[in-house]
């Protein structure tokens, strides 16, 4: 995170909202406590409402820094909304339920009024039961998932950095995503997508879809069986230009 850039954006006229993704998607960063304190300080000085998306917060690796909820550092009067959900942690996105934690009553009522005006169903009995079951009884399953994801992460990093010339990867601190640096291939974003999708038959999220700073990157999802990842990496290796 570039705090100076964030400060510049926050000072622009009519800016009222600061959105934070923690842990970060797509690069997998876990923000340090000083970085989070700096975000809160900017919001206080510019009178901003922070929406902190922490839906990946349960998915952090044992050998990396521990995730810190932004709300745990907030002071009374800070304008903060936290988004959480069991969908990533327990693989139940199809149940369609997330939650906004909104301490300020006026903000909470205002958002509820918007939902009501749009007739948005906020939950159903199945999604509520899944939400509760995950958070109440899902810890053993989550522990097993994190151990498996860490093995997948290490396998992908070793394979990419030793067998895929022109592509580099660093270990994410959280999430089940790996940010592949493909700039060494010397391809523009359209050609990069063509190489992976048409050439290798692998559909990843192009980095450019996350903003211009993502140009030359691809986002790989490692939340799958290791055998699937092995096949994906073999496919990519087969279409890379010889070095």
Statement to judge: residues 156 and 109 lie in one domain: no
Percent of the chain with pLDDT over 90: 84
pLDDT (0 to 100) of residue 13: 61
Statement to judge: residues 11 and 108 lie in one domain: yes
β strands within the chain, DSSP E: 17-21, 49-53, 80-84, 99-101, 168-169, 177-181, 205-206, 217-221
Statement to judge: residues 42 and 131 lie in one domain: yes
pLDDT (0 to 100) of residue 1: 52
Residue 22: what are its φ and ψ, rounded to 5°? -145, 115
Kindly report the number of other CB atoms within 10 A of residue 167's CB atom.
Answer: 20
What is the distance between the alpha carbons of residues 176 and 222, in angstroms, rounded to a whole number? 5
What is the distance between the alpha carbons of residues 66 and 44, in angstroms, rounded to a whole number? 25
pLDDT (0 to 100) of residue 118: 86
Confidence band for 37, pLDDT divided at 50, 70 and 90 = very high
122-132 pLDDT tens trace: 678 899 999 99
Contacts of 156-159 spanning 24+ positions with Cβ under 8 A: 156/220, 156/222, 156/229, 156/233, 159/230, 159/233
Statement to judge: residues 21 and 87 lie in one domain: yes
Sign of CA dihedral 82, 100, 50, 220: positive
Kindly report the number of other CB atoms within 10 A of residue 4's CB atom.
Answer: 9
Q: In the block, which residue shows the tokens 């067998």?
A: 163
| Residue 24 near residue 57, CB atoms below 8 Å | no
The CATH number covering residue 156 comes to 3.90.1150.10
What is the distance between the alpha carbons of residues 23 and 177, in angstroms, rounded to a whole number? 11
> pTM score, two decimals?
0.88
Q: Of the segments 5-9, 87-91, 120-124, which one has the largest average pLDDT value?
A: 87-91
The CATH number covering residue 21 comes to 3.40.640.10
Q: Which residues pair with 17 in a beta bridge?
A: 49
Q: In the block, which residue shows the tokens 């934690």?
A: 101
Q: In the block, which residue shows the tokens 């995170």?
A: 1
Number of domains in the chain: 2
Statement to judge: residues 27 and 110 lie in one domain: yes
State both tokens at 53.
């998306």
Range(s) of the domain holding residue 106? 3-137
pLDDT (0 to 100) of residue 232: 98
């Amino acid at each position: 995170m570039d705090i100076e850039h964030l400060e510049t954006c926050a000072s622009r006229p009519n800016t009222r909202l600061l959105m934070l993704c923690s842990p970060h998607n797509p690069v997998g960063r876990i923000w340090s406590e000083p970085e989070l304190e700096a975000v809160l300080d900017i919001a206080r000085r510019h009178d901003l409402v922070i929406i902190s998306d922490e839906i990946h917060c349960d998915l952090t690796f044992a050998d990396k820094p521990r995730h810190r909820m932004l709300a745990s550092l907030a002071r009374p009067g800070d304008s903060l909304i936290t988004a959480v959900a069991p969908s990533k942690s327990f693989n139940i996105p199809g149940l369609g339920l997330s939650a906004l934690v909104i301490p300020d009553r006026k903000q909470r009522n205002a958002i509820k009024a918007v939902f009501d005006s749009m007739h948005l169903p906020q939950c159903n009995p199945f999604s509520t039961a899944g939400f509760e079951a995950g958070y109440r009884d899902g810890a053993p399953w989550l522990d097993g998932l994190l151990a498996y994801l860490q093995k997948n992460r290490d396998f992908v990093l070793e394979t990419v950095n030793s067998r895929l010339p022109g592509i580099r990867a660093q270990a994410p601190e959280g999430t089940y995503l790996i940010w592949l640096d493909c700039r060494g291939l010397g391809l523009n974003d359209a050609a990069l997508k063509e190489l992976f999708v048409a050439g290798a038959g692998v559909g990843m999220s192009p980095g450019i879809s996350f903003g211009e700073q993502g140009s030359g990157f691809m986002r790989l999802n490692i939340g799958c069986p290791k055998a699937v990842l092995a096949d994906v990496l073999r496919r990519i290796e087969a279409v890379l230009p010889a070095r």
